[in-house]
Each structure stands twice: as structure tokens, then as C-alpha cells.
């Protein structure tokens, strides 16, 4: 993987690591192009200047397919496969934008926002907020059901904070800790609604095996993990509706 990362381009996130292989001819939104065999549909779309919305994907990590924001349509296939985990095939015809895809993506984002601090939605500058703006989503139609909006902030690490209220459990931090740093200090604990990012055996970041490399912070798309230096007056924890 690391030799492949040398081909990454500044300012362009292909969504999945670039591959090296014989050229494969595909069509993305009417644009014909050739991409290396083994490339994901997401990477091919980025190469065609038709980037697909994403949250759990980035080209410094292997595809995971958890966020379901990158759904696309492929001619001749049923359903809406994830662009990050679907590999290109010769002659593949992909559509990255349609009313149905827009509807599906908006629904996914609304579900994320139903368990996200409302006060943190306006004016945000994370990847999550960029995706919200792209899809035209800034609220959700759901009531105040069970949520994680009372989860306490872990500010034990001297360099960054972890605010689980903003976490969408995309696993990017966990994967960065494993694939980039090789520390394996983070994990996803629990299943379903109980899933959460945990440092070591439920310890604080400072007490865990974390080496403060910052890979998890760089990978986080929601600023659930964020540098303390960005908050000279102290990290602001937005109040929840129940507070």
C-alpha cells in the first residue's frame, strides 16, 4: 500500500488507494476513460472529475463501505452498490448522480444528523459538513429518540480531544491507527446502536496505548477527534437538547 500512496495527488482524494495495473475502460457519467485494474468505482469517478460523496472513505486507507453515502448506479446491476468497495470492470457504465441517488444520500445524512449535536450543524467545516452542504441537508425529520448526545468528551490527551457526540462510527480513526500507525490502540466496541470508538480496553486516550501520532485526528471526517490547538480558549462542547 505504501508504494501506491506515492501516487496520491495533493488536493485530490480518490477515496480509495490508487492501484497499478493494466488499463480498464469504463464510462462515468458519460465520460469514457481508462483506469488501472483494481481501482474502485469511487477512484474512477474522481479521476473522471465526478467525485462521489463519501464519509468513511479516503485514499490513505483501504475501503471499508460503512457510511453508505457513496451509492451509485451501475448499468446492468440491481440496487445501488457502494462506490468505494466496488471495483471497476471492463465496459462498466456508472452513473453517480440521479434523483434516486440524491434521495438515498439525503436520507442517509438525515439519519446521521438525528444523532449529531444540532448546535454543531450550522457553520461547520468538517468533511461531514461539506457533504451536508453538497447534498443540501441541514436537518432531519426524526424526533428526539435515543441518542449519544450526553456522551462525555475525552480531553485527557494533551494534543487532541475526542467528542463522541460527533462520532458517526465510520471507523476511519480505528483503521488509521491500524493501517498507518500500526498501534492498534483503537477499536469499535459494541454492536448496532451501542457501537462506539474505544481506546484500548475502555480507557481514556491518555491512559491507553495511543502514541499521540495524530493519524486518527487527521482521518476523522466529523471533527469528533480534533486538535486542541484549534481551540485556544478551550474546546467548546455544544449543549445537547436534553441539557
Nearest CA-CA partner of 161 in 85, 87, 229: 229
pLDDT number for residue 235 = 65
pLDDT number for residue 144 = 84
Do strands 186-189 and 196-199 pair parallel, antiparallel, or not at all (unpaired)? antiparallel
pLDDT number for residue 12 = 83
- Give the model's confidence band at 243: pLDDT under 50 very low, under 70 low, under 90 confident, else very high: very low
First to last CA, the chain: 45
Asked if 35 contacts 63 with a C-beta cutoff of 8 angstroms, the reply is no
pTM: 0.89
Averaged pLDDT of the chain: 91
pLDDT digits (tens, 9 = 90+) for 18-48: 999 999 999 999 999 999 999 999 999 999 9
pLDDT number for residue 8 = 61
| Tally of residues, the chain | 243
Q: Which residues contact 22 (CB under 8 A, 6 or more apart)?
A: 36, 37
Asked if 108 contacts 140 with a C-beta cutoff of 8 angstroms, the reply is no
Asked if 117 contacts 141 with a C-beta cutoff of 8 angstroms, the reply is no
Show the beta-strand stretches assigned E in 51-138. Answer: 73-74, 93-95
Mean pLDDT of 164-190: 96
- Share of residues in the chain with pLDDT > 70 (%): 91
Give the span between the Cα atoms of 196 and 183, in whole angstroms. 18
* CATH of span 160-230: 3.30.70.20
- Give the model's confidence band at 145: pLDDT under 50 very low, under 70 low, under 90 confident, else very high: confident
- What are the sequence ranges of the domains in the chain? 101-135, 160-230
Instruction: Tell me the backbone φ, ψ of residue 69, rounded to 5 degrees.
Output: -85, -20
Within a 10 A sphere around the Cβ of 206, how many other Cβ atoms?
Answer: 13
pLDDT digits (tens, 9 = 90+) for 200-225: 989 999 999 999 999 999 999 999 99
Do strands 93-95 and 225-227 pair parallel, antiparallel, or not at all (unpaired)? unpaired
pLDDT number for residue 94 = 98
- Give the model's confidence band at 2: pLDDT under 50 very low, under 70 low, under 90 confident, else very high: very low
Within a 10 A sphere around the Cβ of 150, how many other Cβ atoms?
Answer: 10
pLDDT number for residue 231 = 74
Helix (H, G, I), strand (E, B) or coil at 121: coil
pLDDT number for residue 1 = 44
Q: Look at the block and give the residue holding cell 446502536.
A: 193
Nearest CA-CA partner of 53 in 121, 157, 133: 133
- Share of residues in the chain with pLDDT > 90 (%): 85
pLDDT number for residue 238 = 55
Burial group, residue 165, by CB count within 10 angstroms (0-12, 13-18, 19+)? buried
pLDDT number for residue 230 = 82
Q: Look at the block and give the residue holding cell 449535536.
A: 117
pLDDT number for residue 211 = 96
pLDDT digits (tens, 9 = 90+) for 47-100: 999 999 999 999 999 999 999 999 999 999 999 999 999 999 999 999 999 999
Amino acid at each position: 500500500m505504501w508504494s501506491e500512496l506515492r501516487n496520491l495527488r495533493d488536493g485530490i482524494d480518490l477515496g480509495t488507494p490508487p492501484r497499478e495495473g493494466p488499463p480498464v475502460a469504463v464510462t462515468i457519467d458519460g465520460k469514457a476513460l481508462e483506469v488501472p485494474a483494481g481501482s474502485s468505482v469511487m477512484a474512477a469517478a474522481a479521476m473522471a472529475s465526478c467525485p462521489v460523496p463519501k464519509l468513511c472513505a479516503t485514499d490513505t486507507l483501504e475501503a471499508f463501505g460503512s457510511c453508505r453515502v457513496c451509492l451509485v448506479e451501475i448499468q446492468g446491476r440491481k440496487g445501488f452498490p457502494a462506490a468505494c468497495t466496488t471495483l471497476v470492470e471492463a465496459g462498466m457504465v456508472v452513473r453517480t448522480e440521479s434523483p434516486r441517488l440524491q434521495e438515498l444520500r439525503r436520507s442517509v445524512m438525515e439519519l446521521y444528523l438525528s444523532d449529531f449535536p444540532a448546535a454543531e450543524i450550522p457553520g461547520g467545516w468538517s468533511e461531514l459538513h461539506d457533504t451536508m452542504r453538497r447534498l443540501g441537508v441541514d436537518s432531519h425529520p426524526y424526533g428526539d429518540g435515543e441518542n449519544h448526545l450526553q456522551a462525555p468528551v475525552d480531553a485527557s490527551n494533551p494534543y487532541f480531544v475526542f467528542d463522541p457526540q460527533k462520532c458517526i462510527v465510520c471507523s476511519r480513526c480505528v483503521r488509521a491507527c491500524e493501517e498507518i500507525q500500526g498501534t492498534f490502540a483503537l477499536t469499535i466496541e459494541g454492536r448496532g446502536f451501542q457501537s462506539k470508538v474505544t481506546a484500548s480496553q475502555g480507557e481514556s486516550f491518555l491512559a491507553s496505548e495511543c502514541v499521540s501520532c495524530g493519524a486518527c485526528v487527521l482521518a476523522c471526517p466529523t471533527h469528533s477527534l480534533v486538535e486542541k490547538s484549534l481551540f485556544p480558549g478551550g474546546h467548546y462542547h455544544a449543549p445537547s437538547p436534553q441539557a
